[in-house]
Structure 1
Protein backbone atom coordinates (compact mmCIF):
# COMPACT_ATOMS: atom_id res chain seq x y z
CA UNK A 1 0.00 0.00 0.00
CA UNK A 2 1.34 3.44 -0.94
CA UNK A 3 1.43 6.66 1.04
CA UNK A 4 -2.02 8.07 1.76
CA UNK A 5 -3.54 11.45 2.43
CA UNK A 6 -6.99 11.35 3.98
CA UNK A 7 -8.93 14.51 3.15
CA UNK A 8 -12.17 14.69 5.12
CA UNK A 9 -13.39 18.05 3.80
CA UNK A 10 -16.05 17.50 1.10
CA UNK A 11 -15.41 20.85 -0.60
CA UNK A 12 -11.69 20.12 -0.92
CA UNK A 13 -12.37 16.69 -2.39
CA UNK A 14 -14.90 18.18 -4.83
CA UNK A 15 -12.45 20.86 -5.96
CA UNK A 16 -9.66 18.32 -6.41
CA UNK A 17 -11.88 16.06 -8.51
CA UNK A 18 -13.16 18.98 -10.62
CA UNK A 19 -9.64 20.24 -11.26
CA UNK A 20 -8.42 16.76 -12.16
CA UNK A 21 -11.28 16.28 -14.61
CA UNK A 22 -10.77 19.71 -16.19
CA UNK A 23 -7.05 19.12 -16.61
CA UNK A 24 -7.33 15.47 -17.70
CA UNK A 25 -5.20 14.32 -14.78
CA UNK A 26 -5.57 12.01 -11.85
CA UNK A 27 -6.64 13.59 -8.57
CA UNK A 28 -3.14 12.89 -7.24
CA UNK A 29 -1.54 14.72 -10.15
CA UNK A 30 -3.92 17.66 -9.87
CA UNK A 31 -3.29 18.05 -6.13
CA UNK A 32 0.49 17.64 -6.52
CA UNK A 33 0.72 20.24 -9.28
CA UNK A 34 -1.57 22.67 -7.43
CA UNK A 35 0.57 22.36 -4.30
CA UNK A 36 3.81 22.73 -6.27
CA UNK A 37 2.51 25.85 -8.02
CA UNK A 38 1.32 27.42 -4.77
CA UNK A 39 4.59 26.62 -3.05
CA UNK A 40 6.55 28.16 -5.92
CA UNK A 41 4.48 31.36 -5.60
CA UNK A 42 4.67 31.67 -1.83
CA UNK A 43 7.92 30.09 -0.65
CA UNK A 44 10.74 32.09 -2.16
CA UNK A 45 14.29 32.51 -0.99
CA UNK A 46 14.61 35.54 1.24
CA UNK A 47 16.62 38.37 -0.23
CA UNK A 48 17.26 41.94 0.68
CA UNK A 49 15.59 44.64 -1.36
CA UNK A 50 17.93 46.98 -3.19
CA UNK A 51 17.91 50.71 -2.52
CA UNK A 52 16.45 51.24 -5.99
CA UNK A 53 13.55 48.88 -5.23
CA UNK A 54 12.82 50.62 -1.93
CA UNK A 55 12.87 54.06 -3.55
CA UNK A 56 10.55 52.82 -6.29
CA UNK A 57 8.09 51.65 -3.62
CA UNK A 58 8.32 54.99 -1.82
CA UNK A 59 7.75 56.93 -5.03
CA UNK A 60 4.73 54.75 -5.82
CA UNK A 61 3.31 55.26 -2.34
CA UNK A 62 3.79 59.02 -2.54
CA UNK A 63 1.14 59.19 -5.25
CA UNK A 64 -1.43 58.18 -2.63
CA UNK A 65 -0.44 60.78 -0.03
CA UNK A 66 -2.22 64.06 0.61
CA UNK A 67 -0.73 66.89 -1.48
CA UNK A 68 0.87 68.60 1.53
CA UNK A 69 2.84 65.42 2.27
CA UNK A 70 3.45 64.30 -1.31
CA UNK A 71 5.83 67.16 -2.07
CA UNK A 72 8.02 66.65 1.00
CA UNK A 73 11.60 65.49 0.69
CA UNK A 74 12.28 61.75 1.01
CA UNK A 75 14.74 62.49 3.81
CA UNK A 76 11.95 63.53 6.21
CA UNK A 77 11.08 61.11 8.99
CA UNK A 78 7.59 60.06 10.02
CA UNK A 79 7.93 62.46 12.96
CA UNK A 80 8.49 65.37 10.59
CA UNK A 81 5.23 64.49 8.85
CA UNK A 82 3.15 63.82 11.99
CA UNK A 83 4.26 66.36 14.58
CA UNK A 84 4.61 70.15 14.84
CA UNK A 85 7.73 71.73 16.31
CA UNK A 86 6.12 71.74 19.77
CA UNK A 87 5.43 67.99 19.58
CA UNK A 88 1.70 68.26 18.92
CA UNK A 89 0.04 66.43 16.04
CA UNK A 90 -0.19 68.31 12.76
Structure 2
Protein backbone atom coordinates (compact mmCIF):
# COMPACT_ATOMS: atom_id res chain seq x y z
CA UNK A 1 0.00 0.00 0.00
CA UNK A 2 1.14 3.58 -0.68
CA UNK A 3 1.46 6.56 1.59
CA UNK A 4 -1.29 6.91 4.18
CA UNK A 5 -2.98 9.73 6.03
CA UNK A 6 -4.74 8.78 9.23
CA UNK A 7 -7.56 11.21 10.04
CA UNK A 8 -8.89 10.71 13.54
CA UNK A 9 -11.61 13.34 13.48
CA UNK A 10 -14.99 11.78 12.69
CA UNK A 11 -16.47 14.99 11.29
CA UNK A 12 -13.58 15.40 8.86
CA UNK A 13 -13.92 11.79 7.67
CA UNK A 14 -17.68 12.24 7.25
CA UNK A 15 -17.22 15.42 5.23
CA UNK A 16 -14.57 13.81 3.02
CA UNK A 17 -16.79 10.80 2.31
CA UNK A 18 -19.82 13.00 1.70
CA UNK A 19 -17.94 15.23 -0.73
CA UNK A 20 -16.49 12.23 -2.56
CA UNK A 21 -19.94 10.68 -2.97
CA UNK A 22 -21.47 13.95 -4.18
CA UNK A 23 -18.68 14.48 -6.70
CA UNK A 24 -18.53 10.85 -7.84
CA UNK A 25 -14.87 10.43 -6.98
CA UNK A 26 -12.72 8.62 -4.44
CA UNK A 27 -12.15 10.07 -1.02
CA UNK A 28 -8.49 10.56 -1.98
CA UNK A 29 -9.46 12.54 -5.07
CA UNK A 30 -12.00 14.61 -3.14
CA UNK A 31 -9.49 15.48 -0.42
CA UNK A 32 -6.69 16.20 -2.93
CA UNK A 33 -8.88 18.52 -5.02
CA UNK A 34 -10.25 20.28 -1.94
CA UNK A 35 -6.74 20.87 -0.64
CA UNK A 36 -5.49 22.06 -4.05
CA UNK A 37 -8.41 24.49 -4.37
CA UNK A 38 -7.86 25.87 -0.88
CA UNK A 39 -4.16 26.24 -1.49
CA UNK A 40 -4.85 28.10 -4.73
CA UNK A 41 -7.10 30.55 -2.86
CA UNK A 42 -4.59 31.13 -0.07
CA UNK A 43 -1.88 33.69 -0.80
CA UNK A 44 1.69 32.46 -0.34
CA UNK A 45 3.52 33.56 2.79
CA UNK A 46 4.46 37.15 2.32
CA UNK A 47 8.12 37.81 1.91
CA UNK A 48 7.48 41.42 2.87
CA UNK A 49 6.67 40.42 6.45
CA UNK A 50 10.02 38.65 6.76
CA UNK A 51 11.84 41.67 5.35
CA UNK A 52 10.06 43.95 7.82
CA UNK A 53 10.94 41.63 10.72
CA UNK A 54 14.58 41.60 9.63
CA UNK A 55 14.65 45.38 9.31
CA UNK A 56 13.18 45.71 12.82
CA UNK A 57 16.06 43.60 14.16
CA UNK A 58 18.58 45.68 12.22
CA UNK A 59 17.06 48.90 13.57
CA UNK A 60 17.26 47.51 17.10
CA UNK A 61 20.93 46.71 16.61
CA UNK A 62 21.48 50.14 15.10
CA UNK A 63 19.87 51.78 18.15
CA UNK A 64 22.03 49.68 20.44
CA UNK A 65 25.38 50.21 18.71
CA UNK A 66 24.91 53.65 17.17
CA UNK A 67 22.14 55.47 19.08
CA UNK A 68 23.06 58.75 17.37
CA UNK A 69 21.68 57.26 14.12
CA UNK A 70 18.34 56.32 15.71
CA UNK A 71 15.93 58.20 13.43
CA UNK A 72 17.97 58.06 10.24
CA UNK A 73 17.10 55.91 7.26
CA UNK A 74 19.12 52.74 7.02
CA UNK A 75 21.63 52.82 4.19
CA UNK A 76 22.37 49.90 1.94
CA UNK A 77 25.96 51.13 1.73
CA UNK A 78 27.92 50.18 4.81
CA UNK A 79 30.35 53.00 4.09
CA UNK A 80 27.69 55.57 4.93
CA UNK A 81 27.55 54.21 8.48
CA UNK A 82 31.26 53.55 8.98
CA UNK A 83 33.16 56.37 7.28
CA UNK A 84 33.20 60.19 7.29
CA UNK A 85 33.40 62.18 4.06
CA UNK A 86 37.21 62.19 4.32
CA UNK A 87 37.34 58.37 4.54
CA UNK A 88 38.12 58.14 8.25
CA UNK A 89 36.10 56.00 10.65
CA UNK A 90 33.18 57.68 12.38
Structure label with greater radius of gyration: 2
Greater helix proportion: 2
The TM-score with structure 2 as length reference comes to 0.48
The TM-score with structure 1 as length reference comes to 0.48
